[in-house]
Structure formats: structure tokens, C-alpha cells
Amino acid sequence: MKYFKPLLPFVLGFIVLVFTNSFGELSLINVAAQLILFGLVVCWPIWKLGVLSFVDIGWPWGLVVIGLLSLIFGEGNTVRVWLIGGAYIFMGMRMGLGAIQLWRKGYLQKELPRYRYQRLRWERMGKTNTQLAMQTDAIMQGLANASYLAFPAFIISANPSPTISPIEMIGLGLWIASFLFESTADLQKLRFLRQMKAEGQQNKVCDVGLWQYTRHPNYFAEWMVWNALIITAIPSWLALQDQEHWLIWLLLALGLLFISRIMYTTLVYFTGAKPAEYYSLQKRPDYRAYTERVNMFFPGPPRKSG
């Protein structure tokens, strides 16, 4: 049971979607598409090669699937459908194309550090069947795409109102700002790594630009991207009140809020900050001092060292 218990919240989220009047059938199509995608692109390679890194291909392309299904089956206002469908496709392809590049270069054929860290977690939890643990983790991500990560897209694409509300504009603005924040952080780190390589220096700590204010500006920005989608979905969720049973309507709201928690715990504890820092502390001599003066996740002014 300890292997399958983490799947239960995502199964419950999927059940909520299926019982909606507005996008129940769309949710069934989505879960079928996600299971096919993850079965072929993630679960099969994991079984053959014994590495979990193929999740990095499956989950972003699963976002592309959600975006495409929203565009095809969304019955709401055309502008709103195209905005949310395009946002999901853009997010998914941005990460998905990068993952394919890693696969082509052979990086995914060996376990990435964040997934090596998962094995340490499994040992602490007493999960000795590594193959089963890898498959359930992969299925959990597929179920996340089939449940909570689809909530904003399906809710927004069902809203027929021709008026874009101020809350939606705020959410859209925050989404753009978060994406720019994340892209800036990625470019700053890439520039730093190239400079260190040109100077022949190794295992240096990137503490320039946004990396002076948070040790993981890219993860923080990714979390804010999803918070922006939650905010954007609020007016569309309110518009569903007359179409859905009151319990389903409330559960949709809880599901939207749960996205923020899912992404936070994932980006901090599971495949984000904590795993990265576990290996950085071993690899980079100056990293401990860096942790003492810079916040781990939320941006803030650097503290004086020592």
C-alpha cells in the first residue's frame, strides 16, 4: 500500500473532473491520452532502462496534450480558449523540447541527480522494490496531468463570457512576469556557466543576478506560473456555480488551491531545491556559505555571511 498511497489524491482529483457537467467527457479523453503518452514515453523506457529521468519528457508533453484538448474541445469564449490552450502548449513545449535535447545527447539514459535523490527517499521509506517505486512515481505524474494540472485549463476553457475580467488580466500579467523571471534566471545561470568554463573553473556557485536573492529563482518562478493560472481561473470557476452541483463546485475550488501546494512540495522537496542542494553541498565547496546568506526558495535580500 505504501507504493500506491501517493496516487490517491490524484485519483480523487480526476474523479472530481469526471463528475463535472462542464468537462467530464473531456477529462476522460485527457486521462486516456495521458496514460498512452506516459505508457509509451515514460513507463516503457523506465522498465527497459531502469531510470526515472524519462518523466522529464512525459510531464511537459502532457501539458501540451492538455492545451491541445482545451483548444479542440473547449466550449467557452474563443479568446479565452486560445489564451489558456496556448499557455499550456507554450509551457509544455518549452520544457518538452529541452527534455528531448537532453535525451538526444544521452543525458536521460542515465539517472539525473534529482531522481537519484528519489532512491534515497525510497530507502528511508522502506521501499525496496525500486522498479515498482519508479513506475508508481511515473504514473503519479501522469495522474497529476490527468487531474489537478488540468483544472485551470478545463475551467477557463469552459467559460463562455466574452468579457475578460480584471482578475484574469492580473493572472495573465503575473503569468508573463513569472515566465520572464524564470527565463532571466535560466539565462543568467547559463551565462555564468559559460564564463566559468571559459576561465577553466569548476564547481563554482552561481550567485549572480536573481541567484543573489534566492538559491532557486527558476523553481520559485515555476511555482508562481501555476499560482498565476490559479488566479486566472477564479472568474471562470465562479461562472460554473449555476452549472455544477454545489459540492463539485467547491471541490473544484479546493483542487485549484491544491495545485499550489503540489507544485510547492514538488519544486522544493521532491524534484527541486532539496535534491539539488543535497548534491551541491557535496560538489561545491562554497555552497554551504551560499546557503547561509541567500534564501532557499522565496526571494529576499541576502544576509551578511558570518
Entry pTM:
0.95
Determine the pLDDT at residue 207: 93
Determine the pLDDT at residue 254: 97
| Confidence label for 238 from pLDDT (cuts 50, 70 and 90) | very high
What is the SS3 assignment for 186-235? Answer: HHHHHHHHHHHHHCCCCCCCCCCHHHHCCCCHHHHHHHHHHHHHHHHHHH
**Range 124-139 average pLDDT:** 92
**Range 101-114 average pLDDT:** 89
Please provide the DSSP assignment of the chain as one string: -TTTGGGHHHHHHHHHHHT-TTTHHHHHHHHHHHHHHHIIIIIHHHHHH--STTHHHHHHHHHHHHHHHHHHH--S-HHHHHHHHHHHHHHHHHHHHHHHHHHHTTSTTS--HHHHHHHHHHHHHT---HHHHHHHHHHHHHHHHHTGGGHHHHHHTT---SSPPHHHHHHHHHHHHHHHHHHHHHHHHHHHHHHHHHTT--S----SGGGGT-S-HHHHHHHHHHHHHHHHHHHHHHHTTTTS-HHHHHHHHHHHHHHHHHHHHIIIIISSHHHHHHHHHHH-TTHHHHHHHS-SSS--PPPPP-
pLDDT, tens only, 5-32? 999 999 999 999 999 999 999 999 999 9
| Confidence label for 110 from pLDDT (cuts 50, 70 and 90) | confident
pLDDT, tens only, 202-221? 999 999 999 999 999 999 99
Determine the pLDDT at residue 293: 95
| Confidence label for 306 from pLDDT (cuts 50, 70 and 90) | low
Determine the pLDDT at residue 64: 98
Least confident range from 100-109, 178-187, 209-218: namely: 100-109
Average pLDDT in the chain: 95
